[in-house]
Amino acid sequence: MHGAEDDSEVTGVLSWFPVELPPAQRVIGLFVGKWTIGALRPVVQLGIPDLLAEGPRTATDLAQQTGADADALYRVLRCAAATGVLAETAERAFALTAAGQGLRTGVEGSVRDMFLFASDPMMWRPYENLLHSVRTGAPAFDDAFGETFFDHLRAHPGSAALFDRAMVQNHYPGTDRIFERFDFSRFRRIADVGGGRGQFLAEVLARHPGCTGAVCDQPQVVAEAKAEFERRGVADRATAVATDFFASVPAGYDAYFIKHTLHNWSDHDAGRILTRVREAVGTREDARLLIVDALLTGPGAWDLGKLTDIEMMAVLGGRERDREEWNRLAAAAGFAPANDPAPGDLALLEYRPV
Ligand SMILES: C[S@@+](CC[C@H](N)C(=O)[O-])C[C@H]1O[C@@H](n2cnc3c(N)ncnc32)[C@H](O)[C@@H]1O
């Protein structure tokens, strides 16, 4: 391992580029994103992390079981070990690391479906010509596929199911902190607008036995919510409402939670969704809008949101936002800020109706 002494905890690719390299050469470090995602995808597609769940195995053995070419498989496994999700324990034998557990099927905390979604060819295409977005401001996805992302999903059920499964695992760093810090028990009835299969509503209800709620999403998405509610043991307190949130959001809830959804849309479209939420709130002064999304930092500060913002631009024509942008959007729909979270991470922004 190379690098400064305080890098001693850093392993795999992260430790690879010596800090003493001339700055211009360290730019090459940015290329590893393609190499590592590219190599990990077949490893995950072949289910190697699941096959290693019981302990280390040789590349030859794994190739026999998966019907892969032994040499080519060894080389992607060796690359996976270089990323830190596998460890080469003996010559041509591999074990899962703690990080690699995240690529197993059906284990708590797995992000396997998120990985398969993020590395899917559908999600690479917009990046083949991001310049289109930069020149026009329009999503490169629409240019590549001739339709919007959500129209594409509606026409391709396999891709839609992949997306919905990935969203069930949509636990970016910061999500748990939000659930731990925010007191959802202030509310009896919670609506999760654009809540996918109800994964986060289920989480809130499981943590707060006094709450009931509804997940409001497209019909084909909420059709899967019942199973998620049953899996989490909250089916008696949760309902699924099929809706187009540009047309209407159900009335009668104390809190309207909307997570990782407004960033999918331009200010114009996000404003339409918030206006529907404001209509649903009506004259209830104590009802609250709870937005969970990135809260961008100012110029020069490190922020993962500044990277995910590009995904929003390329795929959906959406954007990540700073406090001023969120407040402006909320104000236009009739909401005023009711809390002041720190920027630089996922945040829960609370707004009250005005
Ligand atoms: C990025 S996902 C976020 C899902 C979930 N809130 C989470 O945090 O994982 C955005 C959600 O918006 C939903 N959505 C998109 N268009 C919609 C529409 N017109 N009406 C209702 N929901 C919609 C999608 O089906 C999807 O579940």
pLDDT in tens, 307-338: 999 999 999 999 999 999 999 999 999 999 99
- CA neighbours within 13 Å on the CB side: how many for 90? 6
Residue 135's pLDDT band (cuts 50, 70, 90): very high
Distance in angstroms (rounded) separating the CA atoms of residues 206 and 238 = 10
The pair of three-digit structure tokens given for residue 214, joined into one six-digit string: 């509804």
Q: Which residue in the block uniquely carries the two structure tokens 């040499």? A: 71
What are the catalytic residues? 263
Position 9 pLDDT exceeds 60: no
Query: Within 10 Å of residue 351's Cβ, how many Cβ atoms?
Result: 26
Q: What is the mean pLDDT of residues 89-94?
A: 94
Please name every residue paired with 90 in a beta bridge, in sequence order, or none if there are none.
93
Position 13 pLDDT exceeds 60: no
**Over the stretch 217-268, which tens digit does the pLDDT of each residue have?**
999 999 999 999 999 999 999 999 999 999 999 999 999 999 999 999 999 9
Q: What is the mean pLDDT of residues 117-133?
A: 97
| CB contact at 8 A, 253 and 214 | yes
Percent of the chain with pLDDT over 90: 84
The finding on whether 248 has its CB within 6 A of some atom of ligand 1 is: no
CA of 192 to the centre of ligand 1 (A): 10
CA of 261 to the centre of ligand 1 (A): 6
Please state, rounded to an integer, the average pLDDT across all residues of the chain: 93
Query: Within 10 Å of residue 102's Cβ, how many Cβ atoms?
Result: 18
Distance in angstroms (rounded) separating the CA atoms of residues 7 and 18 = 10
The residue contributing the CA closest to ligand 1 atom 22 is 217
pLDDT number for residue 288: 98
The finding on whether 303 has its CB within 6 A of some atom of ligand 1 is: no
Position 1 pLDDT exceeds 80: no
Q: What is the mean pLDDT of residues 73-87?
A: 96
| Residue 196 Cα: closest atom of ligand 1 | 27
Angle between helices 323-333 and 267-281 (to 10 degrees): 50
The string of DSSP letters for 21-53 reads S-HHHHGGGGGHHHHHHHHHHHHHHTTHHHHTT
The pTM score is 0.92
The residue contributing the CA closest to ligand 1 atom 20 is 244
Structural domains for the chain: 13-102 (1.10.10.10), 120-168 (no CATH), 170-353 (3.40.50.150)
pLDDT number for residue 4: 39
Predicted ipTM of the assembly: 0.99
Query: Within 10 Å of residue 210's Cβ, how many Cβ atoms?
Result: 10
pLDDT number for residue 5: 42
Distance in angstroms (rounded) separating the CA atoms of residues 79 and 87 = 10
Burial label for 327, CB within 10 Å (0-12, 13-18, 19+), is: middle
pLDDT number for residue 322: 98
| CB contact at 8 A, 331 and 297 | no
The finding on whether 194 has its CB within 6 A of some atom of ligand 1 is: yes
Distance in angstroms (rounded) separating the CA atoms of residues 195 and 181 = 20
The residue contributing the CA closest to ligand 1 atom 6 is 195
Distance in angstroms (rounded) separating the CA atoms of residues 251 and 261 = 19
Residue 14's pLDDT band (cuts 50, 70, 90): low
CA of 275 to the centre of ligand 1 (A): 16
**Over the stretch 143-196, which tens digit does the pLDDT of each residue have?**
999 999 999 999 999 999 999 999 999 877 778 888 888 999 999 999 999 999
| Residue 258 Cα: closest atom of ligand 1 | 6
